[in-house]
Structures are given as C-alpha cells and as structure tokens.
Structure 1
C-alpha cells in the first residue's frame, strides 16, 4: 500500500534478545532489559530441572513488578496506521496476577494519557488488533504488571523450542504499520529538481504569453518613505490551469481579468511570487532556507489553491516547529487550511 511502512519488534525468551522486522540472524538488542523503557523487580531465569526452562520472573516475593516498552515513531516522522500485538502463553499461570496495559504518548492535543487494560483471551497464542486505540497517534507505551513472586512471563521449554527462531516463533511480537505524518508525494517524486513543462513554455516569454500579471509590492524604508516595486510577469494560461485551481476558476469565469487576460496584484512579496511561478512552470523551488519564506510561500500557495505546493510547504515547515513557535505555526496552518501541518502541531510531543 502506498505510503505505508511496516515496523516489527519481537522478543524471544530463549535467546533473550529482541529482533527487528523478522531478521533473526541479527539481534537488534541483547538482553530483555535493554529493550525496556522501565522495569522493576524483574529477573531473567534459567531453570535447571528435568527440562530447561527460561522466563522472566518476579524478583521479590509478594512485591509488585512491571516492565514497560516505549514505541515512539515521532523521530522518524510517522503516525501509526495499525497495531497488532502477539503474546504467547505456553504455560498456565495465574493470569489474574499478570495484567497488560497500554497508553498513548502525550501530545499537545492530549497531554495527559492513562494506561488502559488490554484483555487477552485465554488461548496460548493471542493476536490482538489494537488499531482502534493507537491509530493516527505517534507512539505508545506497553506495560505488563505482575503481582506475586510465582508469576512467570514468556516461560518456554528450551528443548521443545530450540528452533523457535526458525519458525518465526516469538514470545512478544509487536507489528506496527506506519504512515508519514506529512504526505508529500510531489516532494519525493520531483525532489525539487528542475523539469521543463510538457509544452516547453518558458516563464516570461513575451512571444508566447497569453496572460499578464502585474505585481506591485510596497516596501517601507527606515525614513518612512515607501518604495514601490513593480514587475510584469508574462505567463501561459495552460500552465497556470495545470497547477492552480484558482487560475482554473478564473479562466473559466466571465471576470474582466479573464477577458482582458490581465491581473493586478498588490499585496504579495515579489520574491515569493517568483518562487511560486518557478514551481508552477518547472516544479522547482530554489533558495528557501528560512521559515518566514516558507510561511509566505504557504500563504500564497494556499491563496492560489495549489495543493501539492501546500504539501511541500507543510513538509518543510515541519522541520522548524518547536515549543516556542508551536502555537503561532498552528494558527498559520489553520488559516491556510494546511490540514497536515495542523495535525502535526496537535500531535507535537509534550513532556509531562
């Protein structure tokens, strides 16, 4: 499926190791505790008797114990699309004293999250679909609580399961499907590389132009004088229509600008408007390394209804978002109907 990526983390108690994406020839992390977020009163046991058994057990009798695993996909700029959790119970134990829970990572939209119990059926191999809980979130914490000193987690007979890895046999298997938090197909397809439009129309070619935009920009100086910049852009209606719903509506209307093939603009930055035209003509965006320029381009791409350029702006502005400008960028995104950027601000990580 397009824009969907798989990520899988698995734990095997016999090898006492974590594996990533089903690759059993490489241990992603050695030892159970290195993959945990927190743990308390837990030990790894190798039990020697008639059969050799391995498990995670409670370290102190009659003391509560727990393990948490944190799954945070924000550094990779992903949201969760689905989550399936597999737990294997090979031995009957007092399951009333083993409880599994899950909670979402805190965000600006939901700063306080609480653990919710996960109810497993009483079969040996349990696969739960937890998508409803975590969909469109960027991470979660999985927790197991063990009460009492005789509870064992992931207990397995080594002799019976010595080839468990060959059979893709894990005791805990977390399978997540991810999607980018800002989808920008145009960016990945073009990567801002210059490409000539199909008809080879050139920007500002007076000989072939059938539409003129006159842009007037008013600049204030330190002496309170106003410096006015004017420039005519010689354009092509076919190119404008191909990228902009604004121009498509204009040329299909009976407005005087459509009939006269002339449009006056007075409230735009000359520099940013030129960037807009470069994108429309050549799929090219050049020398935009400042957040203010990207925000100006977002405004103008929203105004002229160019959704793919809005995506590119969202994709780039995302890299500038921080706790200090979060509220401001969220308001700008709402003004520009930049829905993905609004969602990104809502899901921004909050440390509580």
Structure 2
C-alpha cells in the first residue's frame, strides 16, 4: 500500500490482511512454529526444484565443504566463513535477507534458508512489523500501525571472535524507503566492546544519492565484529505515518520458486583475516642442516650458568652449534645485522651467547632451519620462547608464539601475558588479550 492511500482504503485493507504479523519485542510471539536452519560447516545444499537464476545455476556447491565455523550471529547462530581461493589468509562471509521469502541466506546459497523469519535473525527489535500488501504487491518491514507514533528499531550483531577473525573490508546493502519529509530512517554501526573501549558509540552510516550500498570498512577495519542498527521514526499528524519508513521493500511476485541477487534488502559482505597471521619462513637457496661441520661457516657458543659453576673461564668448555650464516641472515634480523656489520670477522666467525637456555636455543635454531616446532604445552615455555624470538628478531617465530599463547590465555595469566606482549612487540597477541577480557567476563547485549 502506498503511504498516500486514503483512510477508507487503509481501513478496508487492514480488516482483510491476516498475513501481517505484529512481532515487536513487547508483544507475544506468534503461535506458528519458527525454525532456524543453521548450516553445519560441511553442509552441501540440495538442488531445489523450480527455476534458478544464473548465479545460482552456476554455483559450485562443493565450495561449501570449505565452510568453517567463524563466529556467531546474535550470540547464537554459527557464522560460516569461506576461504578466498585467490588470496592467502583471506576469508569471506556473507549474510543476506530476502523480504519476499522472509528468510536469511548465508554465503550466497539460495537453495536453503539459513534462518527463517526476519525477527529470528535479529539481535533485538522494538516496534518492527512485517507487512504484506497484496493490492500494491509489496512487502517490507515497518513500524507497527498500533504504535505508529513510536520509533522502531532493529539490530543485528556479527561476532567473529570465536573463529579468531578480524575484518579487513565490509560492504553493506541497506535498502530503505522514506515517503514523507518528516520521516527518518537512520542506519548506524558500532564495533564490539574492547578493554579500552568498553562502550563503543554508534556511528552514522551515510549514503550517496541513488544507492543503498555503502563501504563500511572504515568503521570496522581490524575489529572482531560489529552491531548494525536501523532506527525508524517520524510522523505526528497522520494515522499512516507508520508507513512512512520502510525497510527492504520489495515486489510480490507471481512465483515463489526463485529470486535474484538484487532482491536482497539486507546484504552484508565481510572480508576477514585471522587475528594472528603466521607468515612462512623466508626461502633460502642452500639445502643444509644444522650442526653440519663440513659446510658450516659460523659457530654459536652457548655459555650457561651451569657451565660456569666452579670453572675457570680460561678453561671453559662451552656448547657449540655449527650453523650457516646465509640461513641465519635470511631468517633472523638480529643475525643478518650482525653478519652484515662484519663485526664477527675478528672473532673467527663465531658468537658467544648467554642468558638463553640450551633448550630454547635448540628449539630456536631448529625452527630457523626447518620451520618446525616441538609440541610445547606449557605456558612458561612459550613465554620463554617468545622472549628469545623477540631478542633475536625472528618475526615468524614471534607469530607462532603469539598464536600458541593466545590459545593458552586464561583469567589468571591475562595480565602477565599483556605485559610481556608489550615488551616483545607482540601486537597481535596484545589485541587478543584485549578481546579476551570482553569475550569472557562481560555479557554484551
């Protein structure tokens, strides 16, 4: 129904319509069964009967075997992310709402509904109403006619923390319609709370003329998620003012067996990256092994506290590690700077190390040569290795220590972890510490 319709037409029509369901948060839920169909990570949709649009026809359903749990929608529905084939350490996630079918779809799969009904997919809502107009062949979300002067609001929350992803880009389609100068539809977005920003504010989303698609990356880049909010208000003198603000307005069609991508009223497309990225070791040209005396051109001596007890330093027998300067220089900024400076030439191409344990040095050198790490389960051992990786400037080892320590975080070691992460320049781990506080000690609505 067009908002300019006469009062007689409105009364006559509203007496006939039974499809419109009042679902504001202060009313009773409808009696019909409401189900949420959540796709498991390995879900492969079946082919639905009827026509498909070209995008659906060409869709390779096998890609869904790559889905993995990547977060939560509104604290309860699993979000499934898909790896980006052409980009390393890049994933994507998409959630779309179609008003005609009153359903949400995930990652472009139209064969099966991800969640049924608009309100099941919302974090919370107030004074929002699903309207079907058979005379004008339209359907949309609006305010409730019984509360036409009250504002309406609906929110969705995307949280990628459980999948340990942060957002690199975010594009939104937020279709809405306004039919009176007094009416307003405001879209806004806020990041998830963090330790340093416990109460993030909502920031207004502005649209260019003649488009409902917006690049929202600047609001959420590097964040673990966001809350999206639509606020509808306006109208003081007309009994049809509730119709002046509409979300996701679309046409009723003669068939219900297919729809086009442009039929989405809400379309959220996020590109994601792991919160801790572990880069591969830089490649080296020579295939050599640690402690190969024949090919070695450099020796690391380890002087430990145990070795020094009751010993005359002039007769000190230190542990020796036969290494290769090309390997060390390629994978450690510390050794590259040392070797490039030529300071070791007068010392017969050797280096004496102290203040590092034999176990940690062996792990570190083995990693430099092979990229492999032993199965370390103790928190303190990872902390020790992180300090050594930071001291010898091995970025890829720092990253792997960050990832291991992130998974060992708890309330007892959180403060200490944050402290040494700052000391070691482990910025990825620092961000995880900040989000751990929010994720585990607060209930965020």
TM-score for the superposition, normalised by structure 2: 0.68
Structure-2 residue corresponding to 1:82: 169
Counterpart mapping for 1:202-241 below 5 A = 202-218=289-305, 231-241=319-329
- The 3 A distance-change label for structure 1 pair 161 and 65 is farther
Matching of residue 289 in structure 1 with residue 383 in structure 2: no
Partner-residue secondary structure (3-state), 1:69? strand
The 4+ residue runs of structure 1 with deviation greater than 6 A are 225-229
Displacement of 1:113 after TM fit?
A: 0.8
How well do the aligned residues superpose, as a CA RMSD in angstroms?
3.1
Aligned to 2:413: 325
Alignment match of 1:154 (pick from 232, 237, 248): 248
Aligned residue for 1:57? Answer: 142
Q: Which residue pairs with 2:60 in the alignment?
A: none
Of 396, 414, 427, the residue aligned with 1:339 is 427
SS at match of 2:417: helix
**C-alpha deviation, 1:73, in angstroms:** 1.5
Cα separation, partners in 2 of 1:199 and 1:132, compared to 1, 3 Å: closer
Distance 1:119 1:185 in 2: 37
Aligned partner of residue 263 in structure 2, secondary structure: coil
The CA deviation at 1:162 is 5.6
Per-residue CA deviation, residues 80-99 of structure 1 (Å, 9 max, x unaligned), is 11222112236736673432
* 1:179 to 2:265 alignment: no
The SS at the match of 1:67 is strand
Q: Shift in Å at residue 317 of structure 1?
A: 1.9
Question: CA separation of 1:118/1:241 partners in 2, compared to 1, >3 Å: closer, same or farther?
Answer: closer
Deviations 1:291-335 (A, max 9, x none): 222221111111112112122222222222344433322221221
Moved more, 262-271 or 82-91: 82-91
Number of the residue aligned with 2:359: 271
Aligned partner of 1:18 in structure 2 is 104
Structure 2: which 5+ runs fail to align? 1-86, 234-240
Matched, 1:139 2:233: no
The match for 2:332 is 244
Which residue of 388, 410, 430 maps to 1:300?
388
The Cα offsets for residues 144-188 of structure 1, whole Å up to 9 and x where unpaired, read as 12336444422323127967723442011111222222221228x
CA distance in 2, matches of 1:126, 1:161: 26
Return closer, same or farther for 1:119/1:50 CA change in 2, 3 Å cut-off: same
Picking from 188, 206, 231, the partner of 1:119 is: 206
Call closer, same or farther: CA 1:156–1:249 in 2, change over 3 Å.
Answer: closer
Report the counterpart of residue 54 of structure 2 in structure 1: none
Structure with bigger RCO (C-alpha 8 Å, 6+ apart): 1
Deviations 1:75-126 (A, max 9, x none): 2222211222112236736673432221111012322212223234563x41
Q: Is the 8 A contact 1:213 1:234 kept in 2?
A: yes
Which residue does the alignment assign to 2:128?
A: 42
Query: Cα 1:226–1:346, aligned 2, differ >3 Å: closer, same or farther?
Result: farther
Query: Separation in 2 of the partners of 1:70 and 1:38?
Result: 9
Instruction: Determine which structure has the larger strand proportion and give its number.
Output: 1
Q: Per-residue CA shift, 1:30-67, capped at 9, x if unaligned?
A: 111121111223232334x4244322233341333321
Asked whether the equivalents of residues 85 and 129 of structure 1 are also in contact (C-alpha less than 8 Å), the reply is yes
After superposition, the Cα gap between the structure-2 partners of 1:328 and 1:288, relative to the gap in structure 1 and judged at 3 Å, is same
Find the counterpart in structure 2 of residue 222 from structure 1: none
8 Å Cα contact 1:106-1:349 kept in structure 2: no
2:264 aligned counterpart, secondary structure? coil
Report the CA distance shift for 1:63/1:91 in structure 2 as closer, same or farther (over 3 A).
Answer: closer
Which runs of 5 or more structure 1 residues have no equivalent in the other structure? 191-196, 220-224
